[in-house]
Amino acid sequence: MKSYSRSSLGLVGFNGLYAALGLVQAMAVAAVYGAGREYDLYLVAQTLPELWIYLLAGLLQSGFLPGYLRLDAAQGPGAGWRLRWASVGLVMAASTGLLAASALAAPWLVRLLAPGFPAEALAPCAGLFRLLLITAWISSLIRLLTNFHHAERSFVLPAATQSISPVLVSLLVLGWGRSWGIEALWLGLSLGALGQGIALWPRIWRAGRSEAGLKFWHPSLGPILALSWPLILGVLANRINFAVDRAVASTLNWGDISALRYGFLILTTASLVFSFPFSQTLFPRLCRLAEAGRIKEMAAYLSGLGQFYVILLLPGAGLIALFAFEAVQVLFFRGAFSAQSVQATAWALICYSPCLVVLPLVQLLGGVYASLQRTRALSAAAGAAVILNLIADLILAPLLGLAGIALATSLIQAAWAVILYLWLIRLEPEVRDRASLALAGRCLSLTVLIGGGVGLVEGLLRPGLAAKIVLAGAGLLAYALAAGLPHRARIAELWRMFKETET
């Protein structure tokens, strides 16, 4: 069996490479297009295609992947591959119909997504929207191939091939972005998706070609879809919230949508490196444990991974908030990216910083709900999060501008994580782990105390960069002595858990 530590470490490496290349891509986009009207319109056009890809990826991971694994175990790999090929036909047919209908309704949809923009400014947005729907169709196939790799316990190759897209985007934007306009960015994304598909296809074909055929249905798809439909809102909640954020930001200033995007991109880079690999490789194991009814063992993995995130990422969130202005200046302050854009992006990043901790927890808890087939509960909690996010945006945006939108996102994500955990305890009391909650509470209290002290000193003295680095180092040392040293045995135990082989 494949070692999860080997898979996770390989994913950490390739996700680190992808994150670095993603930042390079963002730097290229910022230098050529800046944070203004052109990139705002592109992001509005990208909202629904992104939403579809995110939905599909979540449904495949949380609904279809457990179905593949169950059929493999019950009837053998041949039956599993017949289900996989049928899902290809079904998903691609659904993608074609849905995206074609969206293309016809493009002018009305972009108007709905950006109610604050003047109608004449949205005219080119509909054309961009249709182009991005083509990319979304290609990406639908990529998500299927990636899902098949994960079902075969192949995690590293999909992680490695995702770096193709940012390389091509960066080259095309820097080489032809000023002459071709924003279409250079779209072309890079499309070619990158095609390149990833070409790289992922051979292994899938070798493994399943004996059962290949043009199929659109399989008897197992009915139960999978019946179970999966409540996941739609649960999986989409984060992206729906971002769509709401963009719609509200369109009522503010040109460039605010772009600033929110750049700020959140810096934050998600850390998640790509540290949290996503472990969640991705452990999800198939959670599915198998749930199928076997081994709830206590699931609870151990849940609490362990949650502790890992809290201990590791809490100080990271503080560092992001402390060095937000410097980070944005170093990464983006060149070319078309103005000083005003630096200020807006930095404030968005500061207000987004708590999401570094809570987003992985929401992702982890959502995976547990899916593996336990508690999809209706997940859907209800996600629906509540969407409504609360809209209310918070409408209250905070007029008061704080784009910083209010980012702060609303952080507050709602934190509330969502708490709701998911409390509801999970109600559904499955065995997942409660008081020791884990106590450890997380101590780490959070220490972070707030140390971060508050550092923030107070920084606000009063306004130190330079060198002094801020010393201040941050002192804060990290205090955190390590107060949180890491007393719990070093537990931290070592968490690391050993990730090094276990699958049984």
Give the tens place of pLDDT for each residue, 35-77. Answer: 999 999 999 999 999 988 888 887 887 778 878 888 887 888 8
Residue 315, pLDDT above cutoff 50 = yes
Residue 31, pLDDT above cutoff 80 = yes
Confidence class for position 132, pLDDT limits 50, 70, 90: very high
Q: Quote the pLDDT of residue 467.
A: 82
Give 351's contacts (C-beta < 8 A, 6+ positions apart). 403, 404, 406, 407, 409, 410
287-291, 414-418, 437-441, 457-461: which range is least confident on average? 287-291
Contact 168, 192 (CB under 8 A): yes
Confidence class for position 501, pLDDT limits 50, 70, 90: very low
What is the arithmetic mean of pLDDT over 456-472? 79
Contact 301, 282 (CB under 8 A): yes
What is the arithmetic mean of pLDDT over 85-94? 91
What is the arithmetic mean of pLDDT over 355-363? 84
- Identify whether 183 is part of a domain: yes
Contact 498, 5 (CB under 8 A): yes
What is the arithmetic mean of pLDDT over 457-478? 80
- Indicate left, alpha or beta for 181 from its phi (over 0: left) and psi (-120 to 50: alpha): left
* DSSP string covering 440-487: HHHHHHHHHHHHHHHHHHHHHH---HHHHHHHHHHHHHHHIIIIITTT
Q: Quote the pLDDT of residue 4.
A: 47
What is this structure's pTM?
0.86
- Identify whether 411 is part of a domain: no
pLDDT tens for 286-307 read 666 766 777 777 777 777 777 7
- Identify whether 128 is part of a domain: yes
Residue 279, pLDDT above cutoff 70 = no
Residue 442, pLDDT above cutoff 90 = no
Structural tokens at position 114: 């950006």
Q: Quote the pLDDT of residue 234.
A: 63
pLDDT tens for 193-242 read 999 999 999 999 998 888 887 788 888 888 888 767 666 666 677 778 88
Confidence class for position 421, pLDDT limits 50, 70, 90: confident
Q: Quote the pLDDT of residue 497.
A: 59
Residue 281, pLDDT above cutoff 60 = no
Residue 185, pLDDT above cutoff 90 = yes
Give 389's contacts (C-beta < 8 A, 6+ positions apart). 241, 244, 245, 408, 409, 412
Q: Quote the pLDDT of residue 72.
A: 82
What is the arithmetic mean of pLDDT over 338-353? 94
Structural tokens at position 487: 């719990």
Contact 283, 371 (CB under 8 A): yes
- Identify whether 502 is part of a domain: no
Nearest to 268 by CA among 305, 320, 337: 320
Q: Quote the pLDDT of residue 498.
A: 53
Q: Quote the pLDDT of residue 33.
A: 95
- Identify whether 223 is part of a domain: yes
Q: What percentage of the chain carries pLDDT values higher than 70?
A: 85
Q: What percentage of the chain carries pLDDT values higher than 90?
A: 39
Of residues 33 and 487, the one with the higher pLDDT is 33
Q: Quote the pLDDT of residue 264.
A: 92
What is the arithmetic mean of pLDDT over 96-114? 92
Residue 165, pLDDT above cutoff 70 = yes
Residue 329, pLDDT above cutoff 90 = yes
- Identify whether 326 is part of a domain: no
Burial class (CB in 10 A: 0-12, 13-18, 19+), 59: buried
Provide the residue range defining the domain that includes 160: 36-228
Of residues 394 and 121, the one with the higher pLDDT is 394
What is the arithmetic mean of pLDDT over 466-474? 84
Q: Quote the pLDDT of residue 410.
A: 92
**Average pLDDT of the chain to the nearest whole number:** 83
What is the arithmetic mean of pLDDT over 119-140? 91
Q: Quote the pLDDT of residue 380.
A: 76
Q: From the CB of residue 123, how many other CB atoms can be counted at a distance below 10 Å?
A: 12
Confidence class for position 1, pLDDT limits 50, 70, 90: very low
Structurally, how many domains does the chain consist of? 1
What is the arithmetic mean of pLDDT over 153-171? 91
- Identify whether 239 is part of a domain: no
The pair phi, psi for residue 2, each rounded to 5°, is: -80, 135
Confidence class for position 129, pLDDT limits 50, 70, 90: very high
pLDDT tens for 241-276 read 888 999 999 999 999 999 999 999 988 887 766 665
Q: Quote the pLDDT of residue 484.
A: 67
Confidence class for position 496, pLDDT limits 50, 70, 90: low
- Identify whether 116 is part of a domain: yes
Give 193's contacts (C-beta < 8 A, 6+ positions apart). 135, 138, 139, 142, 165
**What DSSP state is assigned to residue 500?**
P
